[in-house]
Structure 1
Amino acid sequence: MSDLPISLLLGLGIGFACRWFDLPLPAPPKLVGALLVLAITLGFIGVDRLMGGAA
């Protein structure tokens, strides 16, 4: 199974659970925190491609 469907299902599941149980989202509330998450994600994807993990 591909990583994309698994990650989408996991993200939707976490979002649904947070909404259902009225929990705060596990995300930074400020723009700088959101940009940090984006930078970490892009860095992970870039290194994964450089190391040959993605086809």
Structure 2
Amino acid sequence: MWPTFIGIALGLLIGFVCRFFDLPLPAPPRLVGALLVLTMTLGFVAGGYIVS
């Protein structure tokens, strides 16, 4: 459970730092790209549950 919270906090921190320093985000800027990253992550997690 802790790795999930740490991952979310790290993602929020990276997003905040990129916005604060006006850096380009290390992710696709459109909703479709963001959904692609989300579905790949969900697929990775689901695959881990199925394999184990």
TM-score in terms of structure 2 length: 0.72
Deviation at 1:21, TM superposition (A): 0.7
Determine whether 1:22 maps to 2:25.
Answer: no
CA RMSD of aligned residues (A): 1.9
Amino acid at match of 2:49: R
Task: State the percentage of identical aligned residues.
Answer: 60
Matched AA of 1:39 = T
Runs of 4+ in 1 over 3 A off after TM superposition: none
Unaligned runs of at least 5 residues, structure 1: none
Cα distance in structure 1, aligned partners of 2:21 and 2:12 = 14
Could you tell me which runs of 5 or more consecutive residues in structure 2 were left unpaired when the two chains were aligned. Answer: none
Say if 1:35 and 1:9 are closer, same or farther in 2 by CA, change over 3 A: closer
What's the CA shift string for 1:10-40, capped at 9, x where partnerless? 1111011101211122221234322321221
Q: Secondary structure at the match of 1:40?
A: helix
Q: Counting helix residues as a fraction of each chain, which structure ranks higher?
A: 2
Q: Alignment partner of 1:28: what SS?
A: coil
